Amino acid sequence: MSETPDNQHTHSASDPAPRAKALDSLLVEKGLLASDAVDVLVEAYETDIGPMNGSKVVARAWTDSEYKQRLLKNGTDAIEELGYGGLEGSKIVVLENTDTVHNMVVCTLCSCYPWPVLGLPPNWYKSLEYRAHAVSQPRAVLKEFGLELDELVEIRVWDSTADVRYLVLPQRPAGTNDLSEEQLVALATRDSMVGVAKADSPALAS
């Protein structure tokens, strides 16, 4: 069917380190890649990558109330419905934000994170500062993220474990009735699904 990969050249120099470097340096010299493109990119992927699948889960929940009920009842199963799994035994619990309750997620012990839905944990999530203060002074921490909640809103902080990972279902932003599910995906930011921000409003998303 498909042709056998051309492996001729890959056997001649077997040490991969100089080969990777050779390719990188040639591509930079030829102007195909910026000189720092690879470093910047690897750094970004290692430390801070977007929410990916979680945004699609949230957008589905915003547009399909039956799906939302299933999601809140059994997050792991409802997320698997969309084809996202791979948590290796731990389950995902979805927490709904409302006018009166705001959920935020932390892992005080290490950096447990629902990565099949949120990608890689950002640096701040792993920082000692966030882990130490999210539980004791959530309101102050949220303020640092630029989120000031009404005093009447109850803040619930959820501590992740190896067995249970949490995903926040942010409130659907106002003024989004005309948006399609695909358009809504862009509004469900990572920070909103960790619970340190609200979902973006349509004016902010480009």
Partner 1 sequence: MTREIEWEVTGMSGTSALPRSNGELVFESPWEGRAFGVAVALTNAGHYQWREFNSVFIEHIAWAEQSGDSSTYYQRWLAALEELALKKGFVSVQELEQRAQQLAAENDHH
User: Which residues are designated catalytic?
Assistant: 107, 110-112
Q: Does 113 bind partner 1 (CB under 8 A)?
A: yes
Minimum separation from the CB atom of position 178 to partner 1 (A):
22
Q: What is the DSSP string of the chain?
A: -PPPP--HHHHHS--HHHHHHHHHHHHHHTTSS-TTHHHHHHHHHHH----THHHHHHHHHHH-HHHHHHHHH-HHHHHHHTT----TT-EEEEEE--SSEEEEEE-SSS----HHHH-SPPHHHHSHHHHHHHHH-HHHHHHHTT----TTSEEEEEE--SSEEEEEEPPPPTT-TT--HHHHHTTS-HHHHHTSSPPPPTTT--
Site for partner 1, residues 7 to 36, rule: CB under 8 A: 7, 9-10, 12-13, 15-27, 30, 32-34
What mask, x for binding partner 1 by CB under 8 A, covers residues 52 to 71? xx------------------
Q: Does 115 bind partner 1 (CB under 8 A)?
A: yes
Q: Does 76 bind partner 1 (CB under 8 A)?
A: no
Nearer to partner 1, 15 or 148 (CB): 15
Of 71, 104, 106, 120, which one interacts with partner 1 (CB under 8 A)?
Answer: 120
Minimum separation from the CB atom of position 122 to partner 1 (A):
11
Distance CA 122, CA 48 (A): 4
Nearer to partner 1, 24 or 96 (CB): 24
Residues near partner 1 (CB under 8 A): 2, 4-7, 9-10, 12-13, 15-27, 30, 32-34, 37-39, 41-42, 45-46, 49-50, 52-53, 86, 110-113, 115-116, 118-121
